[in-house]
Structure 1
Amino acid sequence: MYHNACNMPSYAIPANDLFSLKYMRRIRFLLNIIVLWPNQEFGGSRIRRLVSSLYRCVLISFVILNMTTTISYLKKYVNHDLAHSYVNMMLGSVYLQRLFLPFQKKFCLIIKRFVLEFHLIHHKHKTENTQVYDRVNRMCAVVTAISVSHAVGLPIFYNGIPLYNNIKTGMFSKHRPINGTFQHSVYFDLPFDQYRTISGYLVVFIYNIYVSYNVTIGVCIYDALVFSIVFHIWGHINILIGNLNQFSLSSEQFSQEDIFNKLKDFVRHHQIIKEFMACTSDAFSTSLCCYLLFHQLSGCVLL
């Protein structure tokens, strides 16, 4: 049933015009950094698809390694205040779940359908849809800009605050404080000393920056993609309502055949919206459940 309702139609429109929109280019570019964009659904060479799958497996391995070493760290320091590490673990779980999405056919198909069929750019040739199209694009552009600023800025603050504390406490000076240790944004239980040696600290510091940017992209930019899909669903609903209102006011000007054809178009449009919403709910339901669970648990831990 899913395949029949959510698979792409044969009249799919090329996506070149779609990526002339800056916010769509940003979303695709940033999600490609963590290979979360389903390029395999849009063609490309077999080697590129293979490299993307391998790199995605590497990212998944990094997350599992991070969570394993963090759990080991938590066991060693169970009596300390470790709320920060618990939140890192939960955020890593959300990111890990999203890394598996490109392996799921229903996620890939819904993105492909959104890009090639459902996006309002494919319907802007209808003059009555221009106002809704422009409004939805502005909303998507604003949300994407905010998400990009978060993806760029949050890792700087996240890793910059421990760095500032280390500088302030004199950990980089010749005369370090007695029993002083380096602070990190994420703590791991590793086989080398990351708390007292500069070389060990730098390895973990650079790695944490890399991981932080990957996670913020996986959270913020993925959310921007979901927001864009939701805004376009809202746009389609508003277009359908507007067309129905206009039709009810001017239906006497048309013949019975014209009225029948317009009603048929309305029913078809409603069916497209209904099917796309059902497929979207099916594709993103697990991700939304994990995300809401993260907010519930992290809120309890932080409080």
Structure 2
Amino acid sequence: MFKIENQDDINARQPMDLRYMKMLRNLLHLISSWPYMLLGEDVKPLPLRGTFYLFVEWAIVLVTGLIYVKTHINKLSFFEMGNTYVTVSLNVVGLQRITIFWFKSYRQAIKEFVLEVHLFHHRHKTEYSEHIYQYIYKICAVFVVAIHAETFFGVLLFNVMPFVNNVRHGMFNEEMPPDRQFEHSINYSLPFNYHTDLVGYIVIAIVNLILSYDCLLAFCGFDLALSVIVFHVWGHLKILDHDLRTFPTPAEMRATRGRPEDEMSYTKEENQRVRAMLKDIIDHHRHIMHFMTQASDAFGPMLCVYYMFHQVSGCILLLECSKMDPESIGRYAALTVTLNQLLVQLSVIVELLGTQSETLKDAVYSMPWECMDTSNRRTVLFLLYNVQEPIRLKPMGVVTVGVTTMASILKTSFSYFMFLRTFS
């Protein structure tokens, strides 16, 4: 049995009193993407951190990045331009994510999650509900801390590698190599020199550090929000599965054993109790389905853009790594591993829903339906029909995402990589 150890969390009176929920809120607050007003929280927005300001900022970065690609595409090789292609793709994803807060579907999904769906509101219903709540609490507490660490080290690694390469190439010596330029984590088309001028390099290096941190906040912040939501919905499915599999038989309902007649059928009064229990189960399942529809509407466009980004960036990064020289490996290997890790991480988490909801079919059929009256049997049949379709995230209401989608993307990327290695 998992137990909450943090004293503040033990004394929590609502979900937002939990430490990991505060950390999630603070992460999204840095990019003004937490619906404070809907949740009745009086928090002042951070200066120059509004979504509109960030959208304009990143749009300018995207335009200058595209101009850089246009002006250098015939001057530099594809291998030299690879980093810019990836950062432009990252910028597109960041722009899309910063607009998520503008849509009512996202704000309503977060509101319903915090005020209704969060397992904190359901933990006291049964002993098993408390057990699942404690289990999900542990997962979320560890996962949220891990994502925060991932954000910090991801930004550090993304910006340190160009600096290390500049040091290795002697760019900070009194006399810089005449045939080299400063390497940057992000490149733009700007009206001043920042590739050979030290002051220009320092200014852009600081700007890149801030921009890359904001971009990773958009990546990790929304991934984290979706992951926490999925963990709790998965917990609801576990509770629902348990309620179905432990549905009391006539003997269990009467607390008697050993007599054959006890297992035959429910009495009229017991069938009324069974009807109420079935209603609670159906309402629970309907609530989960309704919320997942909301979550799909809220996060669907994000997932579509996200998977397209991984398809494009995966091919580009593996192409860069295909040179297999120390410079390419040092510059792109870590970024390739990090982005693929994010893809695998989110896909596996999302897949939890489909895997767990598949078990509901057997759970419904395992109920003692043969002991019920005709009306309750029809209700069980209705429930059995409803659980036939697994509960999954469906971006844009069209296609499901999960491990299969992830495997397809990785397979395509690695096939492209092997093709390039064959002809290199």
TM over 0.5: yes
Instruction: Compute the displacement of 1:44 (Å).
Output: 4.7
TM-score by length of 1: 0.88
- Alignment match of 2:310 (pick from 286, 290, 295): 295
Whichever of the two has the greater Rg, that structure is 2
Which has the higher relative contact order, 1 or 2, with Cα contacts under 8 A spaced 6 or more apart?
1
Greater helix share, 1 or 2? 1
CA contact (8 A) 1:107 1:284 kept: yes
- Alignment match of 1:74 (pick from 69, 73, 89): 69
1:36: which partner in 2? 33
Q: Percent identity?
A: 34
- Alignment match of 2:51 (pick from 37, 49, 56): 56
CA contact (8 A) 2:16 2:114 kept: no
1:95: which partner in 2? 94
CA contact (8 A) 2:195 2:201 kept: yes
- For residues 49 and 15 of structure 2, what CA distance do their matches in structure 1 show? 28
**Letter paired with 2:100:** L
Instruction: Compute the displacement of 1:259 (Å).
Output: 2.0
Instruction: State the Cα deviation string for residues 232-287 of structure 1 (Å, max 9, x = none).
Output: 11111110111122224434558333222212211111111111111111211111
1:220: which partner in 2? 220
**Letter paired with 1:149:** A
- For residues 152 and 16 of structure 1, what CA distance do their matches in structure 2 show? 31
Q: Which moved more, 1:53-62 or 1:193-202?
A: 53-62
Whether 2:266 is the aligned partner of 1:271: answer: no
- For residues 160 and 106 of structure 1, what CA distance do their matches in structure 2 show? 38
Secondary structure, in 3 states, of the residue corresponding to 1:38?
Answer: coil
Secondary structure, in 3 states, of the residue corresponding to 1:40?
Answer: coil
Change (3 A) 1:232 1:59: same
Change (3 A) 1:38 1:71: same
CA contact (8 A) 1:170 1:177 kept: yes
Instruction: Compute the displacement of 1:169 (Å).
Output: 2.1
* Gap runs ≥5 in structure 2: 1-11, 256-268, 319-424
2:422: which partner in 1? none
Instruction: Compute the displacement of 1:52 (Å).
Output: 7.4
- For residues 253 and 85 of structure 2, what CA distance do their matches in structure 1 show? 61
Secondary structure, in 3 states, of the residue corresponding to 2:192?
Answer: coil
Q: Which moved more, 1:258-267 or 1:88-97?
A: 258-267
- For residues 246 and 257 of structure 1, what CA distance do their matches in structure 2 show? 18
Alignment length, in residue pairs?
287
CA contact (8 A) 1:70 1:189 kept: yes
**Letter paired with 2:311:** Q
For residues 194-213 of structure 1, the aligned pairs below 5 Å read 194-213=194-213
TM-score by length of 2: 0.64
- For residues 243 and 67 of structure 1, what CA distance do their matches in structure 2 show? 51
For residues 2-151 of structure 1, the aligned pairs below 5 Å read 17-44=14-41, 48=44, 55-79=50-74, 80=76, 81=78, 82-126=81-125, 127-151=127-151
Secondary structure, in 3 states, of the residue corresponding to 1:41?
Answer: coil
**Letter paired with 2:192:** F
For residues 147-158 of structure 1, the aligned pairs below 5 Å read 147-158=147-158
CA contact (8 A) 1:90 1:298 kept: yes
- For residues 198 and 53 of structure 1, what CA distance do their matches in structure 2 show? 28
CA contact (8 A) 2:64 2:188 kept: yes
- For residues 145 and 54 of structure 1, what CA distance do their matches in structure 2 show? 23
1:164: which partner in 2? 164
- For residues 152 and 54 of structure 1, what CA distance do their matches in structure 2 show? 19
**Letter paired with 2:34:** W
